[in-house]
Chain A
């Protein structure tokens, strides 16, 4: 495991099973799946690609070009829609249609992404459940490849629905996984709306910072000329194979520079060894080490360039102030001052996305804005960034990201209504505006319960992190990661009732343990964490840290890698 051979094979299987022309219909969100080196050699020249169904002009008229050998591969969901288009084109009978269960994209040794950034908006805003099936299929695929999961935990409505659907799939096609040795001991499903706070914070570990600054897409990033210190931009794959990156990705940014310069010195020292070598040694050096050193050198200069570029950007925006405000919000002091800061932020038109993010952070940590602030901040925002954001606010309210503190009684009324719906079996599957309306974050209480704000005695040494809080400069332990830690420790939700209640998930937290003696102790150390709605690199870093501390190994499956800006853009009605 780690090389994800099984997953890759599964994807290729469909492609290789028949030799014919392909017409690929892909969701436009997928950045560049055809760059996969596995596929290209086989089919590069045979494939014609249609990026998206919305791009119907591309599909339209394909009827003329078809010669009956084409095969249409669709990502799961558009299957039906694709058939309709083909039917309209009158070529439906001539082509064979297949679903390409392109559900899992291995981005790294411990990270699988479904590359469904639209999941977040579709599910958490529109209440659209079409992806749940895709999710369940993906889980099913994993369990056929890596054996059944003896311990399952989850929290959140989407998690529960996916889990149930997955179990149903498993029942329908039973036999395959039974009796296999489980390779992954635990699986943890977590809805993004359990913890918006973590996702909304500015990231300060290196990988997160790179994502925030340059945007990592499908595991690779475009470094512009200011980073490469040449006139070209460069596409760089960021994963464990990049040795330099692998060492700094989880580090707090303040350490990265020091580390890189140390590294540069080492490198120089190694280069320097050339001097005073005789011919034979030199030959050895050139044939064996030089290439590696060169490679390392290249990567090093890239990352140093990236760091410089990040520093430049961040100081310009008063990054320190921003972080300070965020920490104040998380800890819950000086709310007035923070609110003023946000207002100033809006007034100065710093960035629509950033302003929105801060407002949401304020709303969630404070359990909604007080009505006066709610109105005034919104008014300010509309004045600054345009009135069309009225729709954005309506979206945010629906998703529970930006709400107004309501008088207690009306809220409980709605809440009871929702809980009634929840108990009803059929209605249990409803995600409607209602439930999110009643969503109260209770962040303060949860934070106290789970001790998310570490007590700081003196300076927090970011070089030698004590706990997961280091990913936020020691100010805050990511809620999502803390939940996972606690549940794994307790092997379930016992003793966390209060937290679960505060998360509004009394009915939506589940554990499913099968007594399975076949699970080796090694597999029990392996934990698959599934983020429904996306996860951030900070969370990944935090859990990697937790894994090192506790001797676990975490693997991540996410609908997409996300960050605060992506979340906000998903909610925003105004497309940049």
Chain B
């Protein structure tokens, strides 16, 4: 037992006049003064005060709601206040109201008689005893699921004592009525009897469950204490203290995995520790005190002091037991002697080494240091360990180093100003992450950061997380201007990896500080994070420009569709106009989904060119009837005129004409004309022998001569109408020459006709024509006549085998001749 703090608080009333709740793991203490169970002065409102474990006031507020039956802390260090009407109010560490929930109608009607807050693996639970002597509980206040427990048969009055126990992840209620014990689970109520209970018990006055829900202690009206397992299958020990007065509190006091079992029982002025020994240890209490069960002991605080009562750990016991010869004790001694520069140090050392126990000795010292509360003692033990370590070759240093680090952290948080009296065991159970969270919860950001830096925690888990929390707290300070907050946050956070500005901004928005949120979002590097929040804050236009900046089109799309629903059409289009990228994206969307919108878009921009194209497209895709298509084309042509694209306008008008004409042709001649090109229309006409009409059409649409000739040539050849072709060829001088005639005849394998035209081919192409009809000899003559080197080689390349041997020689000779000249 040692003193943790002398309490700093300045209590006006006695503890017994207050509702008291202290959170485990060195957590804060809540006091509700002036509770209703006293005959209250009508006017005075009670005051809820929250102190740290060292008595530093954290918050104080006037209680304005209904009468409170019970107080308790949740695992997240939130204060749960159970009101008489079953409403549970949840407060933060600093007295800030978080939320409230009700424990159900049944509780509301019957009022709350008693309530307990208990801890489970999932979080914190609330158990309530109603005025109708029924129990209702919820195993996790974070995820509220109310469970009404079955009725206890024959329960007429409140049970003498009860508690919530947690076994196999399920919460039960254990209650005592007179001499009987009942266990309530959600299905049934079963009577249980502890094995080996001394006879003559007429009622249980107090019961206590250990921190880990492993052990149960019962205090009877005979002053007898039974200790056993919670399952009531095994009895550990019993003790008769001969005090029949009901104790004020009874809590377990043992460390995990320790064989010693002990229970602390407190009366008004007496504290008794009983265990598996005939004797008990008694302390006198000078003041009103309150017991807080911890994982490895009991905290006892009163108006003036705060003490920790625990079983001495094995390592410490071995070292500090009087005349102990444990290796650790010897090592400590050796080190002390060494400091005194006495040769005894060597003797002690040798003694340990002879036994080969130096490693254990060092280990013991390190371990014991961990359990020491006072830095001086820690130091001397660690010094001894380090001294011993020097004489060991291969002692892994990490346990020593880690202990030093842990102790520094522990000493820091145990500091009076911080007021978290954690023991080493509790610290290990709690883990550093949770400890950091608790520091953050107490707004002790600098300390938390220092710890992170000291322990070299990775930034994402450590410093940046804390900074993010700090920033979230910062945005809630409503008295500071937006600019200042944003600047301050950015200065502190900079580009620390792992800090999400958007999270902070979301918090700011949650506090109704939209402007601040926008400012903070400016610092967010990932646009993907900015945009959704901006949309939520109805800053769609800003979101749009951010999305565009990001280049992520999916994001832009999201915003666009959002905007489309949010704004009216005109505004939406105006917004788009200023954002070309979004506009083109939306256009693409419209092309596939909403053609009409596309038209409106072009209209709005006075983009007549595109409007024209749009109508043309429509004339092919949307319209079935000729009239509709012509109308669409007319609109298109008008648009093209507006766009000053006369070419397109003319072309469109021609198309209208052609369409109408094709329609007429279909009516008159049958067959398919619609949607043929002009060229194909004329070809079709010729092929069906409508030469006159074809001529007419060519004239109407001003088909150039060259095309007409090509067209007729091909068509007539296809018809194999050689007579007509010859007539045609003689109608006037061909604008495309006569080589094509030769070619086309050859294509139809009509050498006879081809030869006719070959003679009419102009001199430049004569050779080619002759070669085409296969007259190599004549081709050679012409080539030689032309004295053209290129033509001669062309002919030469066509000379094959023996048949053309003479011709080839002829060319060679001519060549040689030409070269001579």
Quick one: given A387-B654, A390-B616, are A130 and B553 in contact (CB under 8 Å)? Answer: yes
> B736 near A: Cβ within 8 Å?
yes
Question: Of B178-186, B193-201, B438-446, B675-683, which binds chain A?
Answer: B675-683
**Contacting chain B: which of A263-271, A372-380, A472-480?**
A372-380
Query: Which B554-599 residues have C-beta < 8 A from chain A?
Result: 554, 557-558, 580-581, 584-585, 587-588, 592
Instruction: Given A80-B558, A136-B551, A394-B648, answer yes or no on A383-B584 (Cβ-Cβ < 8 Å).
Output: no
- Are A387 and B677 touching (Cβ within 8 A)? yes
**Interface readout for B644-679 with A: 1 if CB under 8 Å, 0 if not?**
000110011011001000000000000000011111
Cα distance A427–B578 when bound, in Å? 10
* Contact (Cβ within 8 A) B554 A430: no
Given known A80-B554, A133-B554, A383-B703, contact A432–B647 (CB-CB < 8 A)? no
Given A126-B588, A129-B553, A130-B554, 19 further pairs, Cβ under 8 A: A80-B557, A127-B580, A127-B584, A128-B585, A129-B584, A130-B553, A133-B552, A133-B553, A136-B551, A164-B551, A171-B525, A378-B651, A379-B651, A380-B704, A382-B677, A385-B677, A390-B651, A430-B580, A573-B617
State whether B678 touches A383 (Cβ < 8 A): yes
**Smallest CB gap from A375: residue in B:** B647
Let me know if A386 is at the binding interface, CB within 8 A. Answer: yes
**What are 14 residue pairs bridging A and B, where the CB atoms are less than 8 Å apart in the complex?**
A80-B554, A133-B552, A348-B710, A378-B651, A382-B677, A383-B678, A383-B701, A384-B707, A385-B677, A387-B655, A388-B620, A390-B616, A391-B613, A573-B617
In the complex the two chains form, is B648's CB within 8 Å of A77's CB?
Answer: no
Q: Is the CB of A129 within 8 A of B585?
A: yes
| Set of chain A residues within 8 Å of B587, measured between Cβ atoms | 126
Q: Is the CB of A77 within 8 A of B553?
A: yes
Q: How far is the CA of A390 from the CA of B633 in the complex (A)?
A: 12
Minimal beta-carbon separation of B798 from chain A (angstroms) = 14
Bound CA span A391–B645, Å: 13
What is the CB-to-nearest-CB distance from B660 to chain A, in angstroms, rounded to a whole number?
13
* A120, chain B: closest CB distance, angstroms: 14
B685: CB under 8 A from chain A?
Answer: no
Whole-angstrom distance between the Cβ of B659 and the nearest chain A Cβ: 9
Q: Cβ of B651: which chain A residues have Cβ within 8 Å of it? A: 378-379, 382, 387, 390
Given the complex of chains A and B, what is the CA–CA distance between A394 and B613 in angstroms?
A: 8
Given A378-B647, A391-B613, A432-B580: A386 in contact with B525 (beta carbons within 8 A)? no
Asked if B548 contacts A394 (CB within 8 A), the reply is no
Report Cα–Cα, A246/B680, bound state, in Å.
44
- Tell me whether chain A's interface is mostly helix, strand or loop, or mixed: helix
Give A residues with C-beta under 8 Å from B. Answer: 54, 76-77, 79-80, 122, 126-130, 132-133, 136, 161, 164-165, 168, 171-172, 343-344, 347-349, 375, 378-380, 382-388, 390-391, 394, 426-427, 429-432, 573
The answer to the question of B304 belonging to the interface, with a C-beta cut-off of 8 Å to chain A, is no
Residue contact B707 to A347, C-beta cutoff 8 Å: yes
Cα separation A379 to B548 with both chains bound (whole Å): 41
Flag whether B714 is at the interface (Cβ < 8 A). yes
Whether B525 lies near A383 (C-beta < 8 A) is: no
Q: Which of B613, B652, B654, B677 contacts A384 (CB 8 A)?
A: B677
Q: Give the shortest distance, in Å, between B631 (CB) and chain A (any CB).
A: 16
The CA-CA distance from A161 to B678 in the complex, in Å, is 44
Measured between beta carbons, the chain B residues less than 8 angstroms from A385 are 677, 679
Within 8 A of A (CB), among B727-755: 736
Known A-B contacts A126-B584, A129-B581, A344-B710; the reply to A383 vs B679 at CB < 8 A is yes
What's the nearest-Cβ distance from chain B to residue A275, in Å? Answer: 34
Q: Does B526 contact A (CB under 8 A)?
A: yes
B584–A391 CB distance below 8 A: no
CB of B538 within 8 A of chain A?
no
Nearest residue in B to A384 (C-beta to C-beta)?
B679
Task: For A122, give its contact among B554, B580, B588, B706 (CB under 8 Å).
Answer: B588
Given the known interface contacts A77-B554, A128-B588, A133-B554, the answer about A429 and B654 at a Cβ–Cβ threshold of 8 Å is no
Most chain-B CB neighbours within 10 Å: which of A76, A80, A122, A383? A383
Chain B: residues with Cβ within 8 Å of the partner, total of 46
Which chain B residues lie closer than 8 Å to A427 at the CB level?
A: 580
Q: Is the CB of B585 within 8 A of A130?
A: yes
A80 to B528: give the CA distance in the assembly, Å. 14
Q: Does B140 contact A (CB under 8 A)?
A: no
| B548 contacts A429, C-beta separation under 8 Å | yes
Find chain A residues with CB under 8 A from B549 CB.
Answer: 426
Given contacts A171-B525, A383-B701, contact A133 B648 (CB under 8 A): no
Task: Check B609 for interface membership: any CB of A closer than 8 A.
Answer: yes
- Shortest beta-carbon distance, B699 to chain A, in Å? 14
Complex contact A172–B616 (CB within 8 A): no
| Docked CA distance A165–B554 (Å) | 14
Known A-B contacts A130-B585, A388-B620, A391-B616; the reply to A349 vs B551 at CB < 8 A is no
A574 vs B549: C-alpha distance when bound (angstroms): 35
Shortest C-beta distance, B746 to chain A (Å), equals 12
Q: In the complex, which of the residues B545, B676, B707 contacts A380, with contact meaning CB atoms closer than 8 Å? A: B707
- Pick the residue among A161, A164, A172, A378 that contacts B525 (CB under 8 A): A172
Chain B neighbourhood of A387, CB < 8 A: 651-652, 654-655, 658, 677-678
In the complex, A562→B551 CA distance in Å?
Answer: 26
Closest to B528 in A: A172
CB of B677 within 8 A of CB of A383, answer: yes
Q: A133-B554, A380-B707, A429-B581 are in contact. Are A394 and B609 (CB under 8 A)?
A: yes
Q: Is the CB–CB distance between A343 and B706 below 8 Å? A: yes
Pick the residue among A130, A133, A172 that contacts B526 (CB under 8 A): A172
What is the bound-complex CA distance between A343 and B709, given in angstroms? Answer: 13
* C-alpha spacing A386/B654, complex, angstroms: 11
The residues of B that contact A136 with a CB separation of less than 8 Å are 551
Residues of B601-651 contacting chain A, CB below 8 A: 609, 613, 616-617, 620, 647-648, 651
Residues of A within 8 A of B545 (CB): 426
B617 cross-chain contacts in A, Cβ below 8 A: 391, 573
Cα(A379)–Cα(B553), bound, Å = 39
Would you give the shortest CB distance from B129 to chain A, in whole angstroms?
41
- Docked-complex contact B551 and A132, CB < 8 angstroms: yes
- In the assembled complex, which residues on chain B have CB atoms less than 8 Å from the CB atom of A343? 706
User: Which residues does chain B contribute within 8 Å of A391, judged by CB atoms?
Assistant: 613, 616-617
Given contacts A129-B585, A387-B655, are A349 and B679 in contact (CB under 8 A)?
A: yes
8 Å CB interface, B365-389 against A? none
Chain A residues with Cβ below 8 Å from B706 are: 343-344, 347
For B676, what are the chain A residues with a Cβ–Cβ distance below 8 Å?
386
Q: B527 to nearest A CB, angstroms?
A: 9
Instruction: Determine the residue in chain B with the shortest Cβ distance to A161.
Output: B551
Q: In chain B, what residue has the closest Cβ to A122?
A: B588
Are the C-beta atoms of B677 and A386 separated by less than 8 Å? yes
A contact residues around B554 at 8 Å (CB): 76-77, 79-80, 130, 133
B613 cross-chain contacts in A, Cβ below 8 A = 390-391, 394
**Which residues of B (539-554) have their CB < 8 Å from a CB of A?**
545, 548-554
Cα separation A136 to B527 with both chains bound (whole Å):
15
User: A165 touches which one: B551, B703, B710 (CB < 8 A)?
Assistant: B551
* Cβ of B157 to closest chain A Cβ, rounded Å: 51
Residue of A whose beta carbon sits closest to that of B707: A347
Which residues B108-143 have CB closer than 8 A to chain A?
Answer: none
CA of A442 to CA of B703 in the docked complex: distance in angstroms?
Answer: 34
CB atoms of B584 and A128 under 8 A apart: yes
> In this complex, what residue of A is CB-closest to B704?
A380
Chain B nearest Cβ from A375, distance in angstroms: 6
Q: Is the CB of A390 within 8 A of B701?
A: no
- The complex places the Cα of A382 from the Cα of B648 at a distance, in Å, of 11
Shortest Cβ gap from A339 to chain B (Å): 13
Complex CA distance for A429 and B548, rounded to whole angstroms: 9
Distance, CA A538 to CA B247, complexed state (A): 97
Q: List the 9 closest pairs (A to B, CB-CB), nearest first.
A: A130-B553, A386-B677, A387-B655, A383-B678, A127-B584, A347-B707, A165-B551, A430-B580, A347-B710
Whether B707 lies near A383 (C-beta < 8 A) is yes
Task: List, in ascending order, chain A residues with CB within 8 A of B558's CB.
Answer: 80
CB closest chain-A residue, reference B650:
A379
Tell me, rounded to whole Å, the shortest Cβ–Cβ distance linking A316 to chain B. Answer: 10
